Amino acid sequence: MKRLGIVWFRDDLRLHDNETFAWAHMNNDYVIHIYCFDPRQITAKTYKCDFVKTDKYRLKFLIETIEDLNTSLINKGSGLLTYRDKPENVLNQLIEQFKNIFEITIAFQQQVTQEETDVEKIIRQITIDNNIHVKEFWTLTLYHPDDLPYNNPKAFPDVYTQLRVALEKQGVRVRRLIDIPNTFKPLPDGIISTPVSNLSDYEYSNETMHTNSVFTLQGGESSGLTHLHNYIWNKNLIKSYKETRNSLTGPENSTKFSPWLSNGSLSPRKIFFEIKKYENEQNIHDAGYWIIFELLWRDFFKFIAMKYGTRLFYGRGLKLEPYVWKHDLKPFEAWRTGNTGIPFVDANMREIMATGWMSNRGRQNVASFLTKDLGIDWRYGAVWFESILIDHDVCSNYGNWIYVAGVGTDPRENRHFNVVKQGFDYDPNGIFVRIWCPELTRLPNEYIQTPWLAPAHILKEAGVELGVNYPRPIIIVPQWNQQFQNRRKSIQNQHHTQQRGINFYFKNHEKR
């Protein structure tokens, strides 16, 4: 009997460095590739707050990714079968169609979080019921979990630095890239690739990108590889990464690899080895250290999910004692829609709503504000991010949320962002705030982060009417006003020092 491999693509939407895909082509006579737009992950509602699970930005990126994968496969004489259905339904049908003709193996990427592993269990059961083979591969992370210096997931460290130091000390290596097979096995007779869904199938219009979006690239393995090449080789951006990664604006300030990493159209190992090649060729030792450092955070949250399972989704997170969160929808809606009256929070929230993107600095601040200043259940924020983010990754999203909310793996107790200080530090001239809160454009820099502290005549001159065209703050934390006063004093001191310098200069020149 000839062998048929069925590759069920999941968050591994690439041909490069894809063990599942390579295995199927090396070990079968025919290969079918399927992708399922699973309604449980696309149109279903989040388990709190009823947001659609995958909103238009990620869906658009995903559809582009699937189109690109299909094209790459067609170019090699194969193709992709796409479905708007659950994988278990699709696989059952394919098994029924082919089980008397071929010896079938279903090959897929293993995942770690509950909704995903629940589906895996169903698929395994289907293979048992039909007496067919199943082959599973770990292709999600930079480091393979089997290579970590721990016996089992329960022994993985809870602190990121412990993981990083253990890997560095013990010299754990990243496994080599998996080659793309030289020849692709054909589809069985009578099977042809199916047209990919488009946004209108989901009742979204094919809108153009927001003009202020910092992420304007298309989805797909091809565009991901081009972006990686441009980032490293053409634009030489590795060099400036450490200094710029915290910036709020500008498409080139951080790598922007996350949307491809999240759906697997770019492999973290591919990024790693490309960085190593750059370091060797340019003879700059550890030039890409900080990017790899961040990629390891991505791994860390996957390992945390492996270790803690569903606890990643508990209100109390990984803590054992219960945690009381508020579930007040009014302030939550003000946060979600960018109408809290705190410009730094509003600008970030309006950015994510209009583009699906927010910088890491922004994400940390708005998450801290929601959970630490408003005391609202972190899961409300996490499900909004899950819905709207272009780069949503369940482990990175939920892992970071519990971390910032203080119920996760942050070894520093009570980390709390002062969002006004952060606004002044990272957006001192209000460039970012003015992009997303244009109603504050004419406010002087001194008050751009704290309009409620501006005197009435300044507000009037700037055309700002609090409570009318820009909200009054829904909360004022005493430290914010203190921050404003401190900054004012330090600016006045600087001004005096400069003035003294000028006076001194003139006095001395007069003397001569």
Ligand X SMILES: Cc1cc2nc3c(=O)[nH]c(=O)nc-3n(C[C@H](O)[C@H](O)[C@H](O)COP(=O)(O)OP(=O)(O)OC[C@H]3O[C@@H](n4cnc5c(N)ncnc54)[C@H](O)[C@@H]3O)c2cc1C
Contact footprint for ligand X (CB under 6 A): 245, 254-258, 261-262, 291, 294-295, 297-298, 301, 359-360, 363-364, 367, 385, 389, 391-393, 396-397, 400-401, 404
Give 33 or 302: the residue with its C-beta nearer to ligand X.
Answer: 302
- What is the closest distance, in whole angstroms, from the C-beta atom of residue 286 to ligand X in the complex? 16
Provide φ and ψ at 133, rounded to 5°.
-90, 160
- What is the closest distance, in whole angstroms, from the C-beta atom of residue 360 to ligand X in the complex? 3
Q: Does 25 count as an annotated binding residue?
A: no
Q: What angle do CA 210, 436, 294 make, to 5 degrees?
A: 80
Q: Does 203 count as an annotated binding residue?
A: no
- What is the closest distance, in whole angstroms, from the C-beta atom of residue 223 to ligand X in the complex? 14
- What is the closest distance, in whole angstroms, from the C-beta atom of residue 27 to ligand X in the complex? 31
Q: Does 351 count as an annotated binding residue?
A: no
Give 294 or 446: the residue with its C-beta nearer to ligand X.
Answer: 294
- The count of other CB atoms within 10 Å of the CB of residue 339 is 17
Q: Does 17 count as an annotated binding residue?
A: no
Give 113 or 258: the residue with its C-beta nearer to ligand X.
Answer: 258
String of DSSP letters for 90-150? HHHHHHHHHTTTSEEEEEEE---SHHHHHHHHHHHHHHHHTT-EEEEE--SSSS-GGGSSS
Q: Does 256 count as an annotated binding residue?
A: yes
Cα–Cα distance between 107 and 94 in angstroms, integer? 14
- What is the closest distance, in whole angstroms, from the C-beta atom of residue 448 to ligand X in the complex? 23
- The count of other CB atoms within 10 Å of the CB of residue 361 is 22
Give 83 or 297: the residue with its C-beta nearer to ligand X.
Answer: 297
Give 88 or 115: the residue with its C-beta nearer to ligand X.
Answer: 115
Q: Does 298 count as an annotated binding residue?
A: yes
- What is the closest distance, in whole angstroms, from the C-beta atom of residue 509 to ligand X in the complex? 49
- What is the closest distance, in whole angstroms, from the C-beta atom of residue 139 to ligand X in the complex? 15
- What is the closest distance, in whole angstroms, from the C-beta atom of residue 228 to ligand X in the complex? 11
Dihedral sign of CA atoms 417, 332, 449, 250 in order? positive
Give 46 or 71: the residue with its C-beta nearer to ligand X.
Answer: 46
Q: Does 56 count as an annotated binding residue?
A: no
Cα–Cα distance between 38 and 350 in angstroms, integer? 29
Place of tokens 């897929």: 108
Element of type H or E holding 343? helix 343-355
Q: Does 294 count as an annotated binding residue?
A: yes
- Total number of residues shown for the chain: 512
End-to-end CA gap in the chain: 102
HSE-up (13 A, CA, CB side) for residue 467: 1
Q: Does 300 count as an annotated binding residue?
A: yes
Cβ-contact 70, 13 below 8 angstroms: no
Cβ-contact 244, 236 below 8 angstroms: no
Closest CA to 132 of 119, 142, 123: 123
Give 397 or 450: the residue with its C-beta nearer to ligand X.
Answer: 397
String of DSSP letters for 451-511? GGGS-HHHHHHHT--BTTTBPPPS---HHHHHHHHHHHHHHHHHHHHHHHHHHHHHHHHHH
> Coil, strand, or helix at residue 205?
coil
Give 336 or 392: the residue with its C-beta nearer to ligand X.
Answer: 392
Q: Does 299 count as an annotated binding residue?
A: yes
Give 12 or 439: the residue with its C-beta nearer to ligand X.
Answer: 12
Q: Does 255 count as an annotated binding residue?
A: yes
> What tokens were used for 113?
């979080």
- What is the closest distance, in whole angstroms, from the C-beta atom of residue 99 to ligand X in the complex? 39
Binding residues for FAD: 241, 254-258, 294-301, 391-393
Binding residues: 241, 254-258, 294-301, 391-393
